[in-house]
């Protein structure tokens, strides 16, 4: 403005309004000023207004640090008011820094760029972060990838953050340190996973252990070491072999580059014990092993580290049937087993526990041959006979027809009860079917199957027998000359139904019958019906047939007359 020689009142008024207008334009702006003096932790600053302003030195210092200022330094401050009640300009360094920071942060937020900040305080639910003048909120869940117990080492250190959201009008900024760590980690994982290959052997550190395996840090990326890949032997829990912090050498089994998952193994670095297992464990051979696990269907026995076989519940005991395996063996027990089957391809070995012990039925047969007498307790009574407890926990059965003479099987069963000690004769022993047949009535008359064993009777032979007993099912008979004891079933007592009544016979009565076979105890079975049919066929063959005009009665009559003449 040009200098006026003689300014008028109007000129002075115009000049004053111009100066005041310029000063009013300073308010709400960030301007540069010069420090004129330092007084009592306050900086006196001239920003070109008619009066100077004062700003606390602490506003010029970073969190946790001391401001280093002197007279003559240029600084940027925010003008709140041109003049207060004391006639001083109202200036703020914090506000200047905040305004400048907001401008920069808004641009970086729009570009999704990382920002640098310093954690300097703790508030409810998180922490406060200084972003070069602007104060942001850092939630506790956004501090790190995993929960952090002590944040002290992270405070007052410049570090990168990601802005999650910001509102300048409300002055709110929310940042995350975790997002930066996850992004960095993903970049490292992506780079590291590209450098790995399946089959590669690498060293890592155990970070975490679970029931199903362990997580191993491979230098920025984790791999899963499953419990089944720790060792060829059975491992109940990974902690049996490794601990957190252990350095382990593993082999990469599989890599899924899409999900960035890596499967690791330790046993793959060992020699596979299943190689040549068939030659090492031949079928039929006996070995000692240790019980490692017991289930409802059997027990697993470790023959050597990495080689286990299953003893099925059916192969555990000769005599204990339908018993839980845990009542026969216990975990860690040393047992002798027999190799039953080997399937190297499926890595399965079937073992037998009972096969390593003597077969009690074979032992019984050796100790008690057929015809010998045994004694035992009645274990059970059923509708068809008695079960007798014998040596080595085996049972023998007395069929109802072999309990007593001269009475029905039901009547004979009613004479005995559970717990009673009785004597019996060994009639037959079948180790393969695990059966022992006994007889009690044979002790009464000395008629043991040993006599039948030497019997001279032949199939289809007609002999004279004596009725020993009459039952509802037929007749107990004894061959006259041979002495063998046998049975005639009800249906074999005659051709006609009226003849098939046992009550028409009585004990001591003699009659003719044909041998039609022998039971498994070598006792003969007789039949009157078969004898009648055979005689009829023979008569027809010798004396003609009904086709010749002769009746069947004539033919049979002629045969009977010839037989009578021969007897006379």
Judge if 117 and 178 occupy the same domain: yes
Residue 530 lies in a domain: yes
pLDDT digits (tens, 9 = 90+) for 236-270: 899 989 999 999 999 999 988 777 788 999 988 88
Asked whether the beta carbons of 502 and 470 are under 8 A apart, the reply is yes
Judge if 241 and 301 occupy the same domain: no
Residue 18 lies in a domain: no
Residue 382 lies in a domain: yes
Judge if 332 and 376 occupy the same domain: no
Instruction: State the CB neighbour count (10 A cutoff) for residue 313.
Output: 20
56-65 own/partner pairs: CB under 8 Å, 24+ apart:
56/93, 59/92, 59/93, 59/94, 59/97, 60/93, 62/118, 62/130, 63/118, 63/120, 63/130, 63/156, 64/118, 64/120, 64/156
Judge if 468 and 504 occupy the same domain: yes
Give the domain CATH number at 205: 2.40.50.140
Judge if 249 and 288 occupy the same domain: no
3-state helix, strand, coil in the chain (%, to 5): 30, 35, 35
Residues 161-186: what's their mean pLDDT?
87
Residue 275 lies in a domain: no
Asked whether the beta carbons of 426 and 436 are under 8 A apart, the reply is yes
Residues 225-242: what's their mean pLDDT?
88
pLDDT digits (tens, 9 = 90+) for 120-160: 999 998 999 988 778 899 999 998 888 888 888 888 899 99
Question: Whole-angstrom Cα distance, residue 522 to residue 426?
Answer: 13
- The sign of the torsion formed by the CA atoms of 216, 221, 226, 230 equals negative
Residue 385 lies in a domain: yes
Enclosing domain of residue 349: 281-356
Burial category of 196 from C-beta neighbours within 10 Å (exposed 0-12, middle 13-18, buried 19 and up): middle
pLDDT digits (tens, 9 = 90+) for 389-448: 998 888 999 998 888 876 777 888 888 888 889 999 998 988 888 889 998 888 875 444
Residue 253 lies in a domain: yes
Percent of the chain residues past pLDDT 90, beyond the cut: 26
Question: Whole-angstrom Cα distance, residue 426 to residue 397?
Answer: 10
Residue of higher predicted confidence among 168 and 343 = 343
Where does a domain end: 332, 356, 380?
356
Among the residue ranges 6-15, 325-334, 504-513, 531-540, the one predicted with the least confidence is 6-15
Residue 434 lies in a domain: yes
Average pLDDT, the chain: 81
368 token code pair: 């008690």
Say whether pLDDT at 67 is over 80.
no
Residue 190 lies in a domain: no
Where does a domain end: 147, 182, 217?
182
Where does a domain end: 413, 446, 479?
446
Judge if 242 and 308 occupy the same domain: no
pLDDT at residue 27 in the model: 66
Judge if 392 and 439 occupy the same domain: yes
Among the residue ranges 131-140, 147-156, 278-287, 552-561, the one predicted with the least confidence is 552-561
Judge if 349 and 414 occupy the same domain: no
Judge if 218 and 144 occupy the same domain: no
pLDDT at residue 558 in the model: 55
The total number of structural domains that make up the chain = 6
Residue of higher predicted confidence among 393 and 565 = 393
Judge if 322 and 366 occupy the same domain: no
Judge if 434 and 495 occupy the same domain: no
Most distant CA pair in the chain, distance = 195
Say whether pLDDT at 311 is over 90.
yes
The model's confidence at residue 94, banded by pLDDT at 50, 70 and 90, is low
Tell how strand 510-518 and strand 247-256 pair up: unpaired
Say whether pLDDT at 340 is over 90.
yes
> H or E stretch including 166?
strand 159-167
Judge if 475 and 510 occupy the same domain: yes
Nearest to 117 by CA among 107, 127, 125, 126: 127
393 token code pair: 């926990």
Tell how strand 126-131 and strand 114-123 pair up: antiparallel
């Amino acid at each position: 403005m040009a200098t006026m020689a003689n300014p008028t009142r109007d000129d002075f008024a115009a000049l004053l309004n111009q100066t005041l207008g310029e000063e009013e334009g300073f308010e709400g702006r960030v301007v540069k000023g010069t420090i004129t003096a330092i007084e009592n932790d306050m900086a006196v600053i001239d920003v070109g207004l008619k009066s100077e302003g004062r700003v606390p030195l602490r506003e010029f210092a970073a969190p946790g640090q001391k401001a280093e200022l002197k007279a003559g330094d240029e600084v940027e401050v925010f003008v709140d008011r041109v003049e207060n009640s004391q006639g001083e300009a109202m200036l703020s360094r914090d506000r200047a820094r905040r305004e400048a920071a907001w401008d920069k942060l808004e641009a970086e937020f729009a570009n999704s760029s990382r920002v640098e900040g310093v954690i300097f305080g703790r508030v409810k639910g998180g922490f406060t972060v200084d972003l070069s003048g602007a104060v942001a909120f850092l939630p506790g869940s956004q501090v790190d990838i995993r929960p952090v117990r002590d944040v002290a080492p992270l405070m007052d250190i410049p570090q990168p953050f990601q802005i999650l959201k910001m509102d300048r009008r409300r002055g709110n900024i929310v940042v995350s340190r975790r997002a930066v760590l996850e992004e960095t980690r993903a970049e490292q994982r992506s780079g590291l996973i590209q450098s790995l290959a399946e089959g590669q052997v690498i060293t890592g550190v155990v970070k975490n252990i679970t029931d199903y395996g362990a997580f191993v840090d491979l230098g920025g990326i984790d791999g899963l070491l499953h419990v089944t890949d720790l060792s060829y032997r059975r491992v109940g829990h990974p902690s049996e072999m490794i601990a957190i912090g252990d350095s382990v050498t593993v082999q990469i089994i599989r890599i899924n580059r899409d999900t960035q998952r890596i499967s690791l193994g330790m046993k793959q670095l060992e020699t596979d014990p299943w190689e040549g297992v068939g030659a090492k464990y031949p079928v039929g051979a006996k070995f000692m092993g240790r019980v490692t696990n017991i289930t409802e269907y059997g027990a697993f026995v470790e023959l050597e580290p990495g080689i286990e076989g299953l003893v099925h519940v059916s192969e555990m005991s000769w005599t204990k049937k339908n018993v839980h395996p845990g009542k026969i063996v216990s975990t860690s027990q040393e047992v002798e087993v027999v190799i039953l089957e080997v399937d190297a391809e499926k890595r399965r070995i079937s073992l037998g526990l009972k096969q390593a012990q003597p077969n009690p039925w074979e032992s019984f047969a050796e100790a008690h041959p057929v015809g010998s007498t045994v004694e035992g307790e009645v274990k059970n009574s059923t509708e068809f006979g008695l079960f007798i407890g014998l040596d080595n926990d085996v049972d023998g059965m007395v069929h109802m027809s072999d309990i007593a003479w001269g009475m029905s099987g039901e009547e004979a069963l009613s004479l005995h009860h559970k717990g009673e000690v009785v004597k019996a004769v060994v009639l037959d022993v079948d180790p393969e079917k695990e059966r022992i047949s006994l007889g009690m009535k044979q002790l009464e008359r000395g008629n043991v199957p040993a006599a039948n064993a030497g019997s001279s009777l032949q199939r289809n032979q007609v002999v004279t027998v004596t009725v020993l007993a009459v039952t509802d099912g037929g007749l107990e008979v004894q061959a006259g000359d041979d002495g063998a004891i046998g049975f005639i079933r009800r249906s074999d007592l005659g051709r006609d139904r009226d003849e098939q009544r046992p009550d028409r016979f009585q004990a001591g009565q003699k009659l003719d019958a044909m041998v039609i076979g022998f039971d498994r105890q070598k006792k003969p079975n007789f039949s009157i019906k078969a004898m009648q049919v055979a005689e009829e066929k023979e008569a027809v063959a010798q004396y003609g047939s009904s086709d010749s005009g002769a009746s069947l009665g004539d033919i049979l009559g002629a045969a009977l007359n010839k037989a009578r003449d021969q007897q006379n």
